[in-house]
Structure 1
């Protein structure tokens, strides 16, 4: 059974990166994060509901230090190669934090084509080692 919780809430959590000590939490070998919906190539209209999936790890809110857990960060039109994987992830319109442990969001996106990707962060918003990152999903939002 997939370790997926359905929570209809969204917050941008500024984070606790100040607690990060440069040490990245280890990720289990079988850890996998993915976007359940929308599917890659989907044409959608606003509001868009994005549902997150996770296997091999658990979800825990930021500030809760538990081994083999993390919380979701949604990358919107963002290349993860531009992010500092050694530090806490920034909270921006393109890097959306789900520090409450949420596993879905309903959000308005501008009309056009967008890329979506999930990146799991530990209790300090620092990506695990190795990073637990989903495949990129490309969607088109109609007006």
Structure 2
């Protein structure tokens, strides 16, 4: 196949168009974080800070004020779903919350969960995510608490 000047220009145009779409999508995604209302607050109901838990199985009860809980994928203003952070710091607040053993997702709208932790000192913190598991702006998260499992 003989390459012509026109086909080369079309290739450059195509690559430029793809780059614009990709970059535009990235910027739109970053700019499209979900707003949270003033006074929104997430908190851990149970266990309390400093609790000593016998055995490794425990219930975590999650609370939220001035917002509602909704499953992942549901786009309703002033709602989100809980993510429990175990023995870790807050992730980047402008990106999707990771999903692993330290970042538990409760995308069905759960407000309590049974977890199991090994003996030792542990930290727990909640972070609210929007329908796409991205923190709101401003982010809504609880105080980090420490518990001891015996």
Q: Give 4+ residue runs of structure 1 displaced > 4 Å after superposition.
A: none
Task: Tell me by how many angstroms 1:84 deviates.
Answer: 2.0
2:68 matched residue in structure 1: 58
CA RMSD of aligned residues (A): 1.1
- Distance, in Å, in 2 between the alignment partners of 1:126 and 1:33 is 15
Aligned length: 121
2:120 matched residue in structure 1: 112
- Distance, in Å, in 1 between the alignment partners of 2:49 and 2:34 is 29
1:74 matched residue in structure 2: 84
Query: Are 1:137 and 2:145 an aligned pair?
Result: yes
SS at structure 2 position matched to 1:21: helix
Unaligned runs of 5+ in 2: 1-27
State the structure with bigger RCO (CA 8 A, min sep 6), 1 or 2. Answer: 1
2:44 matched residue in structure 1: 35
Larger Rg: 2
SS at structure 1 position matched to 2:29: coil
- Distance, in Å, in 1 between the alignment partners of 2:94 and 2:63 is 24
State the TM-score, normalized to the length of structure 2: 0.78
Q: Which has the higher helix share?
A: 2
Task: Tell me by how many angstroms 1:137 deviates.
Answer: 1.0
- Distance, in Å, in 1 between the alignment partners of 2:58 and 2:149 is 8
State the TM-score, normalized to the length of structure 1: 0.82
